[in-house]
Amino acid sequence: MWNELKTHHNTVADRRFETLVDASRARDFSAQAGDMLFDYAKTNIDATGRALLVKLLDDAGVADKRDAMFAGAPINETEGRAVLHTALRNLDGGPITVDGADVMPEILSTLDRMSEFATSVRDGSFAGQGGKITDVINIGIGGSDLGPAMAVKALAPYHDGPRCHFVSNVDPADIAGVLRQCDPATTLVIVASKTFTTIETMTNARTAQAWMGQSVTDTGAQFAALSTAEDKTAAFGIDPSRVFGFEDWVGGRYSMWGPIGLSLMIAVGGDAFRAFLRGGQAMDVHFKSAAWDENVPALLALVGIWHNQICGYSTRSVLPYDNLLSRLPAYLQQLEMESNGKGVSMDGADLDVNSGPVVWGEPGTNGQHAFYQLIHQGTRVIPCEFLVAARGHEDDLHHQHQLLVANCLAQSEALMRGRDLDEARGKVADKFEGAELERQAKHRVFPGNRPSVTIAYPQLDPFMLGQIIALYEHRVFVEGVVLGINSYDQWGVELGKELATALQPVVEGTQGTDGKDGSTAALVSFLQKNGV
């Protein structure tokens, strides 16, 4: 099928897809999931290409693997684990069985405990030594940080709980900057770590403990933990009543739907958090039931495969025209690149197509005044993914929102249409002539024919955020199945961790640089001379 797709691509690659985009294409090359519209009309995918892409899904057995995932089968084959983050949002679904036991009672009871704790923090019945909690610090990294940090920003209009801060980096500047803003007597520290061994998180947690201990007698009383490793949370001194556990079949980057979302729940309250879960669950239902050519996660994945594995465009830019989603690109970098950045298929063979793409982006309109130059006129094609809400939350500034929307639509139109040399000449004909006119006009040409997709929705509320995040999760799943890789392990992060542990005594000067390569040894020496 890859070959058929590549052959088809060769026959259409030079076509200007703008010529395809009439009103019927807008209808045929878009799909809806609930209130969300996914438009992929501004791509070079035609009916033949889509049929071939859909065939990829059938050839790869995506439907069976999807059903196996939702049913709790151990599809994370390299770690022998189920992949069941969807169970965390299975609020009114039936039982889900892992190793013969229904996991739902435990999930729902943990959710209830989280709600009770979040409510007590919000209403002051759980207090710090100095009174009602004013600040919550979530200490975690990767999946134990990016999800809740992104979501707390995204749901800022619904944030009516204590201030939330996120510390992730082992760079002391990160935690020092947050601690400066907080009073230990009214701060709750949440240590979020699936494994409770991650060196950055545990180092920051101990720093927070020491900070708290300077002015609070019972420091443990103002700590909570989110982890699968309850023995380790106990050893750290956190009372089991404030430990919220989950199972190893929830991957770190998929974990914000459960205990790792506690900071979000404290920020926006239990009802809004459940609305977020319901949004995710609604996307699950859509993913399980919609035909492939109406299935938004599947189509988003197929567009990704078309651009990356078929056209060879190896990056994609995520551009939310919704400032509340300013951390979405960073969140998606982990979700997509840690999941599908694999060069070996499930059976150990080398991939013969590109692995998952480089994902990057910034909110519009900021990106327009920074890197869009390269997207419009650079030599590479960078497929863009726009997200835009019909309404913001600032009713009195609706005219600004309309300007934002106009900018979003203008960018996808400009990327598609471009500007040819004739039109460019017309722009400067009154200023230049002859060879100078040609030269100046050339700089004003936009090649166009650059693809983008747009995800549009009425407003970013908790339910819609849940839909958006679940959409991207399922897109990653589909792309991973088609590539034949395991999207749920992350062996590629291990080597750096091992070498960092080995380098620590070298940097501290208690061990020499013997055995290190010349470059690393010289860098250590430079940094040591300069006071590391």
Positions marked catalytic: 338, 369, 497
Stretch in the footprint of ligand F6P (CB under 6 A) among 191-199, 237-245, 277-285, 424-432: 191-199
Minimum gap (Å) between residue 244 Cβ and ligand F6P: 13
195 binds ligand F6P (CB under 6 A): yes
Residues 262-321 that bind ligand F6P (CB under 6 A): none
The amino acid occupying position 200 is E
Least separation in angstroms between residue 337's CB and ligand F6P is 11
CA distance 53 to 496: 37
Nearer to ligand F6P, 340 or 412 (CB): 340
Q: Which of 65, 490, 506, 524 binds ligand F6P (CB under 6 A)?
A: 490
Selected from 66, 85, 194, 475, the binder of ligand F6P by CB under 6 A is: 194
Among 76, 86, 144, 412, contact with ligand F6P (rule: CB under 6 A): 144
222 vs 339 by CB, closer to ligand F6P: 339
Interaction pattern, residues 217-256, with ligand F6P; x per rule: CB under 6 A: -----------------------------------xx---
Considering only 30, 86, 90, 198, the residue that binds ligand F6P (CB under 6 A) is 198
Interface residue with ligand F6P among 30, 168, 187, 201 (CB under 6 A) is 201
**Of 88-96, 192-200, 269-277, 403-411, which segment contacts ligand F6P by CB under 6 A?**
192-200
Q: Which helix (H) or strand (E) holds 413?
A: helix 398-417
Q: Is 532 exposed, middle or buried (0-12, 13-18, 19+ CB in 10 A)?
A: exposed
Cα(522)–Cα(330) distance, integer angstroms:
32
Distance CA 200, CA 140 (A): 8
Applying CB under 6 A, among 49, 72, 143, 147 the residue interacting with ligand F6P is 143
Provide the minimum distance between the beta carbon of 221 and ligand F6P in the complex, in angstroms, as a whole number.
23
CB of residue 197 to ligand F6P, shortest distance in Å: 7
Choice between 47 and 493, CB closer to ligand F6P: 493
Distances (CA, A) of 208 to 172, 174, 265: 11, 12, 22
Which helix (H) or strand (E) covers residue 474, if one does? helix 462-483
Residue 342 φ then ψ, to 5°? -125, 140
62 token code pair: 């995506």
- Alpha carbon 267 to its chain centroid, in Å, reads 20
Q: Which residues pair with 226 in a beta bridge?
A: 192, 244
Site for ligand F6P in 327-346 (CB under 6 A): 338
Alpha-carbon gap, residue 296 to 471, rounded angstroms: 7
Strands (DSSP E) along 210-362, which ranges?
Answer: 223-227, 243-245, 315-321, 358-360
Find all residues with CB under 8 Å of 498, minimum gap 6, and list them: none
Tokens found for residue 349: 């063979």
Do the beta carbons of residue 147 and residue 261 sit within 8 Å? yes
- Using CB under 6 A, which of 72, 142, 357, 451 touches ligand F6P? 142
Among 374, 493, 499, 500, binds ligand F6P (CB under 6 A): 493
Binding site residues, ligand F6P, CB under 6 A: 141-144, 193-195, 198, 201, 252-253, 338, 490, 493
